Structure 1
Amino acid sequence: MKLIQLLWFLILCSIISSNLVAAPTGIKADSLSYEQKLENGIDAFYRTDWIEASSVFRELQQKKPGDSRAYFFEAMIPFWEYYFGNNSSQAADQFLKRSQQAIEISKNQLNKNSSDTTMVLMLSGLYGYRSLVAAAEQNYKEALESGMTGFKYTRQLLELNADDPKALIGKGMFYYMAGSVPNGLKWAANMIGMSADMQEGFDALEKAAKSDSYVRNDAQMILAYLYEREGQDKKALKHLEALSARYPENIIFQYNRARLLEKTDQLTLAREKYEMITKMNTNTLGVLKQKSRNRLQKL
Structure 2
Amino acid sequence: MNKKTLIYIFTLLMMSIRPLDAQSLPADSLTVKSSPYLLLDRGLQYRVTKSINSMYNFDFKTAEHDFAVLSYQYPDHPLPDFLMALSYWWRIEVDVTNEKYDDIFLAYIDRANEKAEKMYDEGEDNKEAAFFLAAGYGFQGRLLSERKSWTKAAWAGKNALKYMEKSRGEEEFNPELLLGDALFNYFSEWIPENYPLLKPVMALFPKGDKELGLQQLEQVAENAFYTRIEAMYFLFRLYASEEKKPYEALRISEYLHGKFPDNPYFHRSYARHLYTVGRWTESMEQSKQILDRIDAKQEGYEANSGRYAAFYLAQYNDRIGDQAQAKRYYLKTLSYGEESESQESGYYLFSLVELGKIAMDENNKPLAKEYFKKVKKYAKRKHPAHQAARDFIKKNKL
Same fold, judged at TM 0.5 (above): yes
- The amino acid of 1:227's aligned partner reads Y
Q: How does 1:1-299 map to 2 (within 5 A)?
A: 2=3, 3-9=5-11, 14-17=16-19, 25-27=36-38, 37-85=47-95, 87-113=97-123, 115-156=125-166, 161=171, 164-182=174-192, 183-191=196-204, 193-211=205-223, 213=225, 215-230=227-242, 231-280=244-293, 283-287=298-302, 290-291=306-307, 293-299=309-315
SS at match of 1:196: coil
Cα contact 2:56–2:90 (8 A) shared by 1: no
- The amino acid of 1:141's aligned partner reads T
- Whole-angstrom CA distance in 2 between matches of 1:162 and 1:26: 10
RMSD between aligned alpha carbons? 3.3
Cα contact 2:250–2:274 (8 A) shared by 1: yes
Q: Are the structure 2 counterparts of residues 171 and 120 from structure 1 closer, same or farther at C-alpha, using a change threshold of 3 Å? A: same
Per-residue Cα deviation, 1:254-291 (whole angstroms, up to 9, x for no partner): 21111122123322221111123334588421215533
Long gaps (5+) in structure 2: 21-32, 316-398
Q: Are the structure 2 counterparts of residues 218 and 135 from structure 1 closer, same or farther at C-alpha, using a change threshold of 3 Å? A: closer
- The amino acid of 1:9's aligned partner reads T
Q: How many residues align?
A: 295
Cα contact 2:15–2:180 (8 A) shared by 1: no
- The amino acid of 1:258's aligned partner reads A
Q: Are the structure 2 counterparts of residues 15 and 27 from structure 1 closer, same or farther at C-alpha, using a change threshold of 3 Å? A: closer
- Whole-angstrom CA distance in 2 between matches of 1:234 and 1:210: 18
Residue 162 of structure 1 and its aligned partner are, at CA, apart by 10
- The amino acid of 1:154's aligned partner reads M
TM-score w.r.t. the length of structure 1 is: 0.83
Long gaps (5+) in structure 1: none
SS at match of 2:203: helix
Q: Are the structure 2 counterparts of residues 187 and 160 from structure 1 closer, same or farther at C-alpha, using a change threshold of 3 Å? A: farther
SS at match of 1:15: coil
> Based on CA coordinates, which of the two structures has the bigger radius of gyration?
2
SS at match of 2:72: helix
Residue 17 of structure 1 and its aligned partner are, at CA, apart by 2.8
Residue 234 of structure 1 and its aligned partner are, at CA, apart by 2.4
Residue 101 of structure 1 and its aligned partner are, at CA, apart by 0.7
Residue 156 of structure 1 and its aligned partner are, at CA, apart by 4.6
% of aligned pairs identical?
21
Per-residue Cα deviation, 1:39-72 (whole angstroms, up to 9, x for no partner): 3321211211112212221222122111211110
Q: Are the structure 2 counterparts of residues 157 and 247 from structure 1 closer, same or farther at C-alpha, using a change threshold of 3 Å? A: same
Name whichever of 205-214 and 134-143 sits farther off: 205-214
Cα contact 1:132–1:143 (8 A) shared by 2: yes
SS at match of 1:181: helix
Q: Are the structure 2 counterparts of residues 247 and 31 from structure 1 closer, same or farther at C-alpha, using a change threshold of 3 Å? A: closer
SS at match of 1:44: helix
- Whole-angstrom CA distance in 1 between matches of 2:112 and 2:269: 29
Cα contact 1:179–1:197 (8 A) shared by 2: yes
Q: Are the structure 2 counterparts of residues 272 and 128 from structure 1 closer, same or farther at C-alpha, using a change threshold of 3 Å? A: same
Residue 10 of structure 1 and its aligned partner are, at CA, apart by 5.2
TM-score w.r.t. the length of structure 2 is: 0.64
Cα contact 2:186–2:211 (8 A) shared by 1: yes
Q: Which protein has greater RCO, CA pairs closer than 8 Å, 6+ apart?
A: 1
SS at match of 1:17: coil
